[in-house]
Chain A
Amino acid sequence: NAGVTQTPKFRVLKTGQSMTLLCAQDMNHEYMYWYRQDPGMGLRLIHYSVGEGTTAKGEVPDGYNVSRLKKQNFLLGLESAAPSQTSVYFCASSYTGLAGVSTDTQYFGPGTRLTVL
C-alpha cells in the first residue's frame, strides 16, 4: 500500500494564480482532511470530508475549496493564491469506526510545500 500520497511535492505560484493539490489514499478510508502547517501555528484544519461527495469547513477554510468526487481522492483548490497561503499542506485520512465515527488516528501524506510570491 502506498498509504496517503500528495501531488505535487513543491510548487511556486504568483499572486492570483490558481492551482489544485491532489491527495490520494489506498486504505479505503472514509475520512479525509486537508491541513496547513505554519511555523509556531501547528497544524490547522482547512476542510475535511466524511465520505464521498461530502465536504465540510475546518478552522481556516477561507480562500480554499475542496472536492471529494471519489472516495480515494480529496482535492484542495486555491482559486486566487495569496502570499498568506504560503505554507506546507498536509492531507490525512482516517478509518471510520463504529457508528460511522472516525477512529481519530490520522495517516498523513508527505506534504506539499507551496510558496506564493
Chain B
Amino acid sequence: RKEVEQDPGPFNVPEGATVAFNCTYSNSASQSFFWYRQDCRKEPKLLMSVYSSGNEDGRFTAQLNRASQYISLLIRDSKLSDSATYLCAVNMGGDDMRFGAGTRLTVKP
C-alpha cells in the first residue's frame, strides 16, 4: 500500500459544480497535511494547509479525518481556472514529506 493515495481522476465537472477529492495516508502518527495545486507543466504550489479542526479559504474547504486517515478538499462553485492537478502531501514524521500522485480536475463551460 502506498503511503499516500489519491484517486487519479480525471474529474470532469461543469462550471459552478461542487467537487470533492480525498487522500488517504498510511501513517497514523502523521501530523502535517497539505493540498498543493499543480498546473500543466508547472511546479506545485501550496493551496492550503489542513488543520485538525478543518479550514476554509473562500470556495475551498479542507478537512482531516484522523480516525479514517484521510484528508479531503472541497471546491464549491467551480471555475474554469480551477482546472489543474491537486496533490495532497503528508508529513510522515521528521522531514519525510510524501506526496500523492495527484487528482486531475477539468472544469468545463
Contact = CB atoms under 8 A, between A and B. Distances in A.
From DSSP, what is the main secondary structure of chain A's interface residues? strand
Interface of B: 4, 6, 8, 32, 34, 41-46, 49, 87, 89, 91, 95-102
A108 B34 contact: no
A105 B46 contact: yes
A73 B65 CA distance: 38
B101 A56 contact: no
Contacts, number: 50
Contact of A105 (B4, B34, B43, B95): B34
Interface of A: 31, 33, 35, 40-45, 48, 50, 56, 58-59, 90, 102, 104-111
A58 B99 CA distance: 13
B95 A106 contact: no
- Closest A-B pairs by Cβ, 6 of them: A42-B101, A108-B43, A43-B99, A42-B99, A104-B32, A108-B44
Nearest to A48: B95
Contacts of A31: 95
B97 A104 contact: yes
A89 to B, nearest CB: 11
Given A48-B95, A102-B95, A43 B43 contact: no
A90 B97 contact: no
Contact of A106 (B4, B41, B97, B101): B97
A111 to B, nearest CB: 6
Given A43-B87, A90-B43, A56 B49 contact: no
Contacts of A58: 96
B50 to A, nearest CB: 11
A42 B88 CA distance: 10
Given A42-B87, A104-B32, A105-B49, A110 B99 contact: no
Contacts of B42: 110-111
Given A31-B95, A48-B95, A106 B87 contact: no
